[in-house]
Amino acid sequence: MRCRHCQTPLSHTFLDLGFAPPSNAYLAQSDLQRPETYFPLKIKVCDFCWLVQTEDYTDADALFTNEYAYFSSVSASWLEHARLYCKEIIDQLGLNEKSFVIEIASNDGYLLKNFLHAGIPCLGIEPTKSTALEAEKLGIPVLQKFFGELLGKQLANEQREADLIIGNNVYAHVPDINDFTKGIKTVLKKDGVVTLEFPHLLRLIAESQFDTIYHEHFSYLSLQTVIRIFTSNGLKVWDVKELKTHGGSLRVYGCHENDPRPVKSSVDALLASEVKNGLDQLETYFGLQNRVNKIKDDLITFLIDQKKLGKKVVAYGAAAKGNTLLNYAGIKSDLLPFVCDAAKSKQGFFMPGSHIPILPPDHLIKIQPDFVLILPWNIAEEVKAQFAGRLMQNAKFVTAIPMLSIS
Ligand SMILES: [Zn+2]
């Protein structure tokens, strides 16, 4: 296999998580009688451009089916993040009713509705039917397609070039990152701006966030690599911000390479931080597997110990990252009888691989467990606040990453 960006042959494994079904392939009761498809979950690192990437084996269509159940609007903190971003970028770029905004992977319209309310024309691009329909209900125009150079050209030919292109948590999810970047270049207005948000590889390594690794997540990105990809496609990064979302993300601001906009000092500062943390050294990428195995062992030990003591442990948050953790650790419903989730689209379904049932949050209150394992640790505080005063006084919350923590 060659690097998806620079074509260098890939000879270094970053992390091997065995085999797992797609993390978002939630199962209905009737699916439990059928065989389930497992794909290798092995991550490679390119020692030329440092793109960390999943091993090739399947196409995107097999993973993003119409049943894909993630609706962005379910998370209150993510909605607030989107609202604040829109307010800031509208002011910064002076967007108005004559501007045009495109969001790639617009999901259920959680973000574009802010532009709609501000009277700024916008277009969502979203291949997943169920979420796209929700956005259309809000009055947001949506193209139900995958984004790439072809669609970029089509939009440009229709004079629908954008003053602002937004891609939140999509850049890392595209199989062909070069084609996606070419699409941005093609549909960006001469003085337009693109902002992309993605989890920062530096945080993944520093905090052993291996559960953010799943098949649908093709790339694990650092600023140094994104700059290489932008540069080779005629774009430049002129600003970058560190965000707290998804355990630590970057938002890069890009424009055409010949745009007179100066590159802010934030870019050099963050690049220096990546070098200081060894992201340009192969050894940095090799230490994670042992730390991941310890996280797995500690969680299994905890669950077995509590079972022997007769304690009730249940989980909260049927997130994709939870599936990576549970499947790598081989945890099934004998150790974790159910997981609760506020998303109605997941309730009544089963976690892929582990087949742990997903129930409404009220069920957790009814059972009154001794421990609640919060699978999406990035929203742990939000979950704790949600259950404040509704659980037994001595009930405790558990997170497994970056290390087993009970509070
Ligand atoms: Zn490469």
173 C-alpha to ligand 1 centroid (Å): 17
Average pLDDT over residues 180-184: 98
Average pLDDT over residues 237-255: 95
Residue 57 confidence (pLDDT): 66
Task: Quick: pLDDT tens for 354-398.
Answer: 999 999 999 999 999 999 999 999 889 989 999 999 999 899 999
4 C-alpha to ligand 1 centroid (Å): 7
225 C-alpha to ligand 1 centroid (Å): 8
265 C-alpha to ligand 1 centroid (Å): 26
Task: Quick: pLDDT tens for 84-107.
Answer: 999 999 999 999 999 999 999 999
Cβ atoms of 253 and 195 closer than 8 Å: yes
Of the chain, the percentage scoring pLDDT greater than 70 comes to 97
55 C-alpha to ligand 1 centroid (Å): 13
101 C-alpha to ligand 1 centroid (Å): 31
DSSP string for residues in 187-218? HEEEEEEEEEEEEBHHHHHHTT-GGG--TT--
23 C-alpha to ligand 1 centroid (Å): 25
241 C-alpha to ligand 1 centroid (Å): 24
323 C-alpha to ligand 1 centroid (Å): 28
Phi, psi torsion values for 185, nearest 5 degrees:
-55, -40
218 C-alpha to ligand 1 centroid (Å): 13
248 C-alpha to ligand 1 centroid (Å): 23
Task: Quick: pLDDT tens for 274-317.
Answer: 999 999 999 999 999 999 999 999 999 999 999 999 999 999 99
d(Cα 383, Cα 274) in Å, to the nearest integer?
Answer: 32
Residue 66 confidence (pLDDT): 45
Cα dihedral 154→157→158→159 (10° resolution): 130
47 C-alpha to ligand 1 centroid (Å): 7
329 C-alpha to ligand 1 centroid (Å): 30
Tell me which of 64-78, 210-224, 370-384 is least confident: 64-78
pTM: 0.92
